[in-house]
Amino acid sequence: MRSLLEYVGLLKSRSDTTITATKGGIALNGANYGTIINNDSEAIKTALIEVITRQDEMRTLGVEGELQSEIGRQIDHYRDLMNSGRVNEARDLYTELLTHQAKNLQPTSIFRIKANLGICNHLLGLPEKAAQLLTEACTYAPDDPRAVAFKTFAYILQGKTLEAIQYGLKELKRDSKNETLAEFVLQATRIHYQYEGVYPDPYEQFSDELKQAKSVRLAHIHLLASQNHQGWRDLADEYLGENPDDLLAKSLVALGIIQSYVNERQGQNGFNFSAADVQKVEVAAEYFNDYWVDFKKSDKLANGWDLQVIQGLIIAYKLTRNKEKLRDLCIYSLSELSEDQALIDTTAKCLLDLDEPDLCREAIEKLDDHEDARKLHFLLLVAQKDWDALSSYQDYQLASFNGEFLCQAKVVCYIARARKGDSKGKHQLEKLLSVSPLNSRARLLLFEFSTASNIRTIAEIAYTYGADLVNSETDVIEFFHYMKLIRSLMMWKEIISRLSVYPEVADNYDLKHMLALAFVNEHPVRAEAVSFYEDLALAPKGFELLLGIYYFKRKAFLEARQYIIQYYSSGGTDLYGFLALIDMATYERDHQALLELFSTYNTEDFNGTPEQWMHVARALIIIGDSKKGLHLAYDLYVKNPKLSKIALGYFHAFLNANKDALLTDSLAVSGGCHFKLICSDNSIIERDVSESIEDDLSLNPQDIDPYVKKVLGEKIGFEYTQEKLQGQVTWRLEEVKHKYLDAFHKVCSTYESEFPEAGGLWSIKVEDGNVQPLLDFIKGQAERDEDFISTIAEKNMPFGVAAGMWKKNVVQVSDLMRSSKGNIYTCLGTVEERDGAIELVREYREKTIVLDTYSAWVSAELNLLEPLSAYFDTVMLAQSSLDSIHQLAREVEERGGAGFSIAWLNGAFIKNEYTDDELRAEVKRISLHAEVISSQCQITNFNFSTGMDELTETLLEISPEAIEPYFLAKSNNALFISDDGFSRGFAKNAYELNDSVWLQAFLNEALLDGDITPSAYVDAIFGLCRLKHTSVSVSTYVLDSVFERDSTFNLHEFKIIAEYVGGPSAEERSHFDLIFRFIIKHWFLAYNPTNDNVIENLLHISHGDAFPSAKVKKATSILLERMRLMPNGVRHLHDLARFPILRLRGFIRDWWEGHFYN
């Protein structure tokens, strides 16, 4: 189905197909969608009636006779020649026989000869001569039933159809068994009443025996078909079933197929054909072709029926997309049958989108109707999308059209003018749309050409115009092109909202494909998309690539690879599938798989955009083929210098490629390079050498720059002299830059000016070694980061939301929060909060929990995933969280080799250097965390439905990763565990997710239940402290354990754990008790483990300095400082000093004095 002027056959044959009604005939246009040139139902039906009723061919195969004589045998032999198609030869032989044997011929023989001569002349297109001969023949055997029949046929050839009917019916009353006569009576009735609507059916007057005769049945079917009598096709099918080789029956049935589709499939813009309908048309094409092959074998002149069969065959070939046969038949029609205007009209319209413009123009020029020819010339420009010709179409030329065609032509021409850079076209289009309501076909043209123009403003005008007009009730062709327009604007949500409820989408491949594309482009993938693709996977043919991309986005790589491989195995050439295979191998860090991709597939077979090919160039560089990768990247940049993504892509490709072999001082001047010449008079010449320099030297040496000529093939240091007016000067080749390096420098120097809206390369100008601008930039960035971190803290913003807004990784955000604010808010630390969390942990034991990205990272860092998996039934994690960790590994890896970073922290610049080994170790660490997470967690997706509440939709646009854990927890009745206190608070307030805890609540309960070892517990608590989570509860056992194992000189680890003891917010009693227990153990029980009073009294009398150790004193100093910072800290220090612990009072006094005065 296609609309008026819609001639470009871009759609596949899976979709509906439509025929085209034309003036005086039937035509089809479009590979899948036909074009209605004259969408007038009555004109179409009239044309079809003409097709069926213009059959003048004699149904008889000649006049038979008995073989009683040699002349009789000759007559029969000539008849056989005529029936085999050798009509001219038969006519000549009959004429010769009649001339030379006239005196020897009996009247019956003369009758037979003249009758067969009449038939020959009829077959050769001479109806008047045929009628004369038949009339003469009948006088020689007036009572012969055959003569009576041929007299009736003579009346038909003379145009006396009513006399033929009356005479024939009269004679049938005398001879009710005359089959040939009955056949001619039915044919005369068909021709006479073809436009009457009401007709007498003589068939009812025939005897039962006559009704069963083959020729009579077929003629009656023909009569019924001409009147579109209900049930005629069933009769035709039944007849053909009994007589499968009857060519006339075949052609009649074939034409009936087309007629029924015209009547039954007509829509507003065309005729809707399903795939099953196309199969029927293929049968019709086969029937037509059988008739055509038989006709071609003969030397008959094509009569009306033959021409209609040819026309029907043209239509059938068009419908079945048999372009080669269609082209050949059209060429034959134009060369041999050009006198038939209906056939030429059909031929011209079928050629419009065959990509044969010259042939189509030839057909148009043969048309007698100049107005139709002028329209068809214009339509050919439309079909060819000849923007130049359409844009130059003047207003006075448009004025030659009228009515709706004029409005449609204006739409096309105005858009063409805009595409050629004439803003007047846009204004004219806007004015036209504001004052002239467009009919369906004009709207269709507006949508199609706006899409094809590749001008976003024009597309937006068309979109706005159709927004309220196009709906599910709109003609399917118009609707399809409007959806293509929306697709060009990449408005995926609108495509989904419109097509999800469109009734015909399931049966229309193109619309279904568009919906599949929209679903896979929406982020995140919604629940409706999951359901759609699950159904699609049951019948994947034609959707293999999109299924592969869908599963790729879902990280189901096994299924993704299977479908993409199927796609390429079936001949697919879209490069996107190959990019998905590259990204899967990269995601899995499978270098060998990446290498195998390039050895398995020939990338030259693929079709893709420049941006996609740049992705291939980067992959080539990753696998170590820098030469090929750089060549591809450079070629893309040279051919697409105005695409910002290509320039940026080349920038990164050059930086990451191995350029050692390219950037050498021994480079000679050659095609594509840049060189600098310095003259002895201090003048400087710089030139770019053309890539085609070798060809230019051979073909146009006189046009080559003389400086290029002089140095071509030379290396740095080359000198030559030149005579000038002021004397001789010497030129020295100072610099030769490889074309890749030169292109890189051009990107660096021009990127921000060429693409001011693209974000820039963040280049900073440094002069004379002054790095202050660089430091100022770093400081400014750091200050902006600190401001954002402050906003996060003030607004209680979850890490996931902050990462999405900031375009950073959750782990990176947490690191910045830790370094800027000193801690990660995890919980309040109150007893009530802790008790509630422990109750929840107990309640959800052996049930499901959900982690967010940050807590999964912390759990992997602290080796808690295995204990979590053992304690709970399922540890669930969103796929987006795992993807985030994989992305972090890739970002670290992309830093390249050894280097350093400069940061601004706490009012000072900090330089961090790292080696290759350190970088590899960091990548390995992150990757191992990802592997552990994958093995211990159930990785899943939450499928958000379309049309969530406004807050959720906003957050999904920022980062699905941020809120996916909340929905997973609620939908699975799971406990949400997160050490991001802001995230738990947000989940509770925004989504009523009340059941949530943090990791220490689990750790404490797991320790009590024996599900984690004391050593692992200490490691985990220390890890939480090291990560600076707030309100970590430290027990005496943990404090002592960390102290015992800390072997650092300044007790670095103990200092970390001590930060959670005492301090301004500490609860006085419990923290005093914790410090006191530490002192008791290390100041008293260390030397008197049994609390022996005798030993204690003796030591009070006399003791040495063996206890406590220097390590204990160092740790005690740290704890005393934490006690001092407690509420009433000085009083607590006095209370502690009063305890009768050997040496403690003096130590505290000395510490106090040292604390304040040192």
Name the nearest CA neighbour of 51 among 311, 308, 258, 349.
308
Using 50, 70 and 90 to split pLDDT, how confident is the model at 1093?
low
pLDDT at 21: 28
Q: Which 8-state DSSP code applies to residue 1027? A: T
Using 50, 70 and 90 to split pLDDT, how confident is the model at 293?
confident
Strand order in the sheet with 719-724: 684-688, 674-679, 727-737, 719-724
- Rounded Cα gap, residues 1004 and 1037, in angstroms: 12
pLDDT at 768: 55
Does the pLDDT of residue 12 top 50, yes or no?
no
CATH number of 56-185+192-211, picked from 1.25.40.10, 3.40.50.620, 2.10.10.90, 1.10.10.970:
1.25.40.10
Q: What's the mean pLDDT in 305-318?
A: 83
**Within 10 A of 587 (CB to CB), how many other CB atoms are there?**
16
Using 50, 70 and 90 to split pLDDT, how confident is the model at 1102?
low
pLDDT at 1: 22
Q: Which tokens go with 723?
A: 């005579």
Name the nearest CA neighbour of 657 among 620, 615, 694, 707.
620
CA distances (Å), origin 700, targets 260, 521, 691, 705 = 66, 51, 14, 11
Asked if residues 829 and 836 have their Cβ atoms less than 8 Å apart, the reply is no
Of the listed ranges 59-73, 161-175, 427-441, 678-692, the one predicted with least confidence: 59-73
- Rounded Cα gap, residues 386 and 371, in angstroms: 21
Sign of CA dihedral 894, 804, 984, 946: negative
Does the pLDDT of residue 190 top 60, yes or no?
yes
Asked if residues 634 and 683 have their Cβ atoms less than 8 Å apart, the reply is no
**Polymer length in residues for the chain:** 1158
- Rounded Cα gap, residues 485 and 480, in angstroms: 9
Q: Give me the chain's average pLDDT, please.
A: 84
Does the pLDDT of residue 141 top 60, yes or no?
yes
Please tell me which of 274-278, 455-459, 802-806 the model is most confident about, judged by mean pLDDT: 455-459
φ/ψ (deg, to 5) at 275: -60, -35
Paired sense of beta strands 975-977 and 996-997, if any: parallel
Of the listed ranges 442-446, 897-901, 939-943, the one predicted with least confidence: 897-901
Q: What's the mean pLDDT in 1032-1043?
A: 95
Does the pLDDT of residue 16 top 50, yes or no?
no
Q: DSSP 3-state assignment of 1009?
A: coil
Residues 957/959/965/970 CA torsion (nearest 10 deg): -10
List pLDDT tens digits, range 838-891.
999 999 999 999 999 999 999 999 999 999 999 999 999 999 999 999 999 988
Question: Domain 781-1014, CATH 3.40.50.1010 — does that match?
Answer: yes
pLDDT at 661: 55
pLDDT at 89: 86
CA 1080 to chain centre: 72
Does the pLDDT of residue 1037 top 70, yes or no?
yes
pLDDT at 664: 62
Q: Which tokens go with 959?
A: 């980062």
DSSP lists the bridge partners of residue 909 as: 904
pLDDT at 898: 54
Does the pLDDT of residue 905 top 70, yes or no?
no
pLDDT at 172: 87
List pLDDT tens digits, range 492-512.
999 999 999 998 888 889 999
Q: Which 8-state DSSP code applies to residue 676? A: E
Sign of CA dihedral 229, 231, 233, 235: negative
Name the nearest CA neighbour of 896 among 535, 622, 613, 574.
622
Asked if residues 673 and 742 have their Cβ atoms less than 8 Å apart, the reply is yes
Instruction: Report the percentage of the chain scoring pLDDT > 70.
Output: 86
Residues 848/849/852/858 CA torsion (nearest 10 deg): -130
DSSP lists the bridge partners of residue 939 as: 877
Beta-carbon-side half-sphere exposure of residue 921 (alpha carbons within 13 Å)? 6
Beta-carbon-side half-sphere exposure of residue 292 (alpha carbons within 13 Å)? 21
Q: DSSP 3-state assignment of 940?
A: strand
Using 50, 70 and 90 to split pLDDT, how confident is the model at 171?
confident
pLDDT at 39: 27
Name the nearest CA neighbour of 620 among 591, 660, 663.
591
Does the pLDDT of residue 23 top 90, yes or no?
no
Asked if residues 149 and 112 have their Cβ atoms less than 8 Å apart, the reply is no
Give percent helix, percent strand, percent coil of the chain, each to the nearest 5.
65, 5, 30
Of the listed ranges 21-25, 221-225, 327-331, the one predicted with least confidence: 21-25
Name the nearest CA neighbour of 5 among 386, 281, 512.
386
Q: What's the mean pLDDT in 1060-1077?
A: 92
Q: What's the mean pLDDT in 400-418?
A: 93
DSSP lists the bridge partners of residue 732 as: 678, 719
Q: Which residue has the tokens 């068809």?
A: 376
Asked if residues 560 and 551 have their Cβ atoms less than 8 Å apart, the reply is yes
Name the nearest CA neighbour of 637 among 605, 663, 608, 610.
610
Q: DSSP 3-state assignment of 735?
A: strand
Q: What's the mean pLDDT in 287-308?
A: 80
Paired sense of beta strands 899-905 and 908-914, if any: antiparallel
Q: For the chain, which residues make up each domain, given as ranges?
A: 56-185+192-211, 493-608, 781-1014, 1034-1157
Per-residue exposure over 922-945, b if at least 16 CB sit within 10 Å of its own CB, e if not: bbeebbebbebbeebbebebbbbe
Q: At what angle do helices 853-861 and 1014-1026 cross, to 10 degrees?
A: 130
CA-atom Rg of the chain in angstroms: 46
- Rounded Cα gap, residues 303 and 83, in angstroms: 16
Angle at 466 between CA 463 and CA 472, to 5 degrees: 120
Asked if residues 898 and 915 have their Cβ atoms less than 8 Å apart, the reply is yes
Q: What's the mean pLDDT in 590-606?
A: 93
Of the listed ranges 612-616, 668-672, 722-726, 1032-1036, the one predicted with least confidence: 722-726
- Rounded Cα gap, residues 330 and 513, in angstroms: 34
pLDDT at 735: 87
CA distances (Å), origin 709, targets 69, 669, 680, 692, 737 = 98, 10, 19, 13, 17
List pLDDT tens digits, range 354-363.
888 999 999 9
What single letter denotes the amino acid at residue 418? A
Of the listed ranges 168-177, 193-202, 1019-1028, the one predicted with least confidence: 193-202
pTM: predicted TM-score of the whole model, two decimal places: 0.75
More confident residue, 873 or 266: 873
List pLDDT tens digits, range 559-590.
999 999 999 999 999 999 999 999 999 988 89
Q: Which tokens go with 898?
A: 């050894």
Alpha helices for 992-1139 (secondary structure H): 999-1008, 1014-1026, 1036-1045, 1052-1058, 1068-1079, 1093-1101, 1110-1124, 1129-1137
Name the nearest CA neighbour of 900 among 888, 910, 911, 889.
911
Using 50, 70 and 90 to split pLDDT, how confident is the model at 317?
confident
What single letter denotes the amino acid at residue 1138? R
Q: DSSP 3-state assignment of 720?
A: strand
Q: What's the mean pLDDT in 300-327?
A: 82
Q: What's the mean pLDDT in 541-550?
A: 95
pLDDT at 797: 92
pLDDT at 112: 87
CA distances (Å), origin 536, targets 521, 523, 670 = 16, 19, 55
Secondary structure in 3-state letters for 115-173: HHHHHHHHHCCCHHHHHHHHHHHHHHCCCCHHHHHHHHHHHHHCCCHHHHHHHHHHHHH
More confident residue, 528 or 739: 528
φ/ψ (deg, to 5) at 320: -90, 5
CA 753 to chain centre: 32
Instruction: Report the percentage of the chain scoring pLDDT > 90.
Output: 43
Paired sense of beta strands 975-977 and 848-851, if any: parallel
